[in-house]
Chain A
Amino acid sequence: MAGYIFRRVLQAIPVFFGTTFLIYFMVFAMPGDPIVALFGDKTPNPAVIEQLRQQYHLDQPFIVQYFIYIGGIFRGDFGISFSGEPVTQILARTFPVTIRLAILALLFQSIAGIVVGLYSGLRKGKLFDSSALVVSLILISLPIFVIAYVAQYVFGVQLGLARTTVGSGAPIQDLIMPALVLASVSFAQIVRLTRSSVIETSGLDFVRTAYSKGLSRRRIVPVHILRNSLIPVVTFLATDFGVLLVGATVTEGIFNVPGVGNTLYQAIIRGEGPTVVSFVTVMVLLYLVVNLVVDLLYGLLDPRIRLVK
Chain B
Amino acid sequence: MSNNTPRSTTHFVAPLEETPLVAIDAVKVDEKPSNLWIDAWRDARRRPIFWISGALILLIIAVALLPSLFSPINPLTEACALGDSNGDPSAGHLLGFTKQGCDVYARIIYGTSTSISVGLIVILLTTVLGVAFGAFAGFFGGWVDATLSRIGDIFFSIPYILAAVVIMSVLSQYRSIWTISLAIGLFAWPSTARVLRAEILRVKQADYITASEALGVSRMKILFQHVLPNSIAPVIAITTISLAGAIVAEATLSFLGVGLGGSIMSWGNDINQAQRDIRVHPQTLIWPSLALSVTVFSFILMGEVVRDALDPKARALR
Which residues between 128 and 168 of chain B lie within 8 Å of chain A, taking CB atoms? 150-151, 153-155, 157-159, 161-163, 165-167
Shortest C-beta distance, A184 to chain B (Å), equals 13
* Chain B residues near A3 (CB-CB < 8 A): none
Residues of A near B60 (CB, < 8 A) are: none
| Per-residue A-contact encoding for B101-120, CB less than 8 Å = 1, 0 else | 00000000000000000000
Set B155, B159, B248, B251: member contacting A287, Cβ < 8 A = B159
Contact B252 A41 (CB under 8 A): no
Q: How far is the CA of A216 from the CA of B172 in the complex (A)?
A: 63
User: Which residues of chain B are near A265, meaning CB under 8 Å?
Assistant: 256
Cα–Cα distance between A125 and B150 once the two chains are bound (Å): 41
Tell me, rounded to whole Å, the shortest Cβ–Cβ distance linking A13 to chain B. 10
CB distance from A164 to the nearest CB of B (A): 8
| One of B9-17, B83-91, B228-236, B278-286 at the interface | B278-286
Q: Which residues in B have their C-beta under 8 angstroms from that of A14?
A: 150, 153-154
| A307 lies within 8 A of chain B by Cβ | no
User: A19: which of B154, B248, B278, B301 is its contact (CB, 8 Å)?
Assistant: B154
Residues of A within 8 A of B279 (CB): 153, 157
Answer whether residue B300 sits at the interface, using C-beta atoms and an 8 A cutoff. yes
Q: Quick check: is B171 within 8 A (CB to CB) of the other chain? A: yes
B74 within 8 A of A: no
Is A116 interfacial (CB-CB < 8 Å)? Answer: no
Chain A min CB distance to B255 (Å): 5
Residue of A nearest to B154 (CB): A18
Min Cβ gap B302→A in Å is 11
Interface-facing stretch out of B64-72, B208-216, B291-299: B291-299
Q: Is A149 a contact of B275 with CB atoms below 8 Å?
A: yes
- Considering only CB atoms, which chain B residue lies closest to A141 in the complex? B297
Query: Which residues of the other chain, A, contact B301 by a CB distance below 8 angstroms?
Result: 137
Indicate if B122 sits at the interface (CB-CB under 8 A): no
Whole-angstrom distance between the alpha carbons of A140 and B154 in the complex?
A: 26
The smallest C-beta distance from A145 to any residue of chain B, in angstroms, reads 5
260-276 of chain B: CB within 8 A of chain A: 271, 275
- Contact B293–A143 (Cβ < 8 Å): yes
Interface pair A143/B282, CB less than 8 Å apart? no
8 Å CB interface, A30-89 against B: 30, 32, 34, 37-38, 40-41
Minimum Cβ distance to chain A for residue B315 (Å): 12
Interface residue? A263 (CB, 8 A): no
Cα separation A3 to B166 with both chains bound (whole Å): 37
A276 touches B169 (CB 8 A): yes
Chain A neighbourhood of B54, CB < 8 A: none
B162 and A137 contact, CB distance less than 8 A: no
Which stretch (A21-29, A100-108, A171-179) binds chain B? Answer: A21-29
Q: Closest approach, in angstroms, between the C-beta of B150 and any C-beta of chain A?
A: 6
B271 to chain A, nearest CB (A): 7
Q: Which of A11, A32, A284, A288 meets B162, CB within 8 Å?
A: A284
Query: CB-CB contacts of A170-210 with B at 8 A, as 1s and 0s?
Result: 00000000000000000000000001100110000000000
C-beta contact mask, A105-122 vs B, less than 8 Å → 1, else 0?
Answer: 000000000000000000
- A53 to chain B minimum Cβ distance, whole angstroms, is 16
Asked whether A15 is an interface residue with its Cβ less than 8 Å from the other chain, the reply is yes
Q: B90: shortest Cβ distance to chain A, in Å?
A: 23
Chain B residues lying within 8 Å of A27, measured Cβ to Cβ, are: 166, 170
Is A243's CB within 8 Å of the partner chain B? yes
User: Which chain B residue has the least Cβ–Cβ distance from A274?
Assistant: B169
**Complexed CA–CA distance, A268 and B317 (Å):** 42
C-alpha gap A288/B158 in the complex (Å)? 9
Check B297–A280 contact: CB distance below 8 A.
no
Q: Is the CB of B293 within 8 A of A137?
A: no
Could you say which residues of chain A place their CB within 8 Å of the CB of B161? Answer: 246
A140-B300, A271-B172 given as contacts; is B154 within 8 A of A15 (CB)? yes
Q: CB distance B165 to A268 under 8 Å?
A: yes
- Asked if residues A153 and B278 are in contact (CB atoms below 8 Å), the reply is yes
Q: Is the CB of A23 within 8 A of B172?
A: no
Residues in B whose Cβ lies below 8 Å from that of A40: 169, 172-173
Residue in chain B with minimal CB distance to A145: B255
Chain A residues within 8 Å of B317, by CB: 124, 195-196, 199-200
| Chain A residues positioned under 8 Å from B314 (CB to CB) | 196
Does B289 sit within 8 A of A, measured CB to CB? yes
Rounded to whole Å, the gap between the CB of A144 and the closest CB of chain B is: 8
- Contact partners of B154 in chain A: CB under 8 A: 14-15, 18-19, 22
CB-nearest residue of chain A to B297: A141
Which of these, A146, A150, A268, contacts B292 with CB under 8 Å?
Answer: A146
Neighbouring A residues of B293 by C-beta, 8 Å: 141-143, 146
Q: Which residues of A contact B278 (CB under 8 A)?
A: 149, 152-153, 157
Is A138 an interface position by the 8 A CB rule? yes
- Indicate if the CB atoms of B157 and A288 lie closer than 8 Å: yes
Q: List 10 tightest A-B contacts by C-beta distance, closest first.
A: A18-B154, A242-B159, A141-B297, A40-B172, A146-B289, A141-B296, A246-B161, A30-B170, A143-B248, A269-B257
- Chosen A-B contacts, 19 in total, with CB atoms closer than 8 Å, are A14-B150, A15-B154, A18-B151, A26-B163, A30-B170, A40-B169, A40-B173, A137-B301, A142-B296, A143-B292, A145-B255, A146-B271, A152-B278, A249-B162, A250-B252, A268-B257, A271-B257, A276-B166, A283-B159
CB within 8 Å of A: which residues of B? 150-151, 153-155, 157-159, 161-163, 165-167, 169-173, 244, 248, 251-252, 255-258, 271, 275, 278-279, 282, 285, 289, 292-293, 296-297, 300-301, 304, 314, 317-318
Task: Identify 18 new A-B residue pairs, CB closer than 8 A, beyond the known A32-B173, A277-B169, A287-B158.
Answer: A11-B153, A14-B153, A23-B163, A26-B170, A137-B300, A143-B248, A145-B252, A149-B271, A200-B317, A250-B252, A265-B256, A271-B172, A277-B166, A280-B163, A280-B165, A283-B159, A284-B158, A287-B157
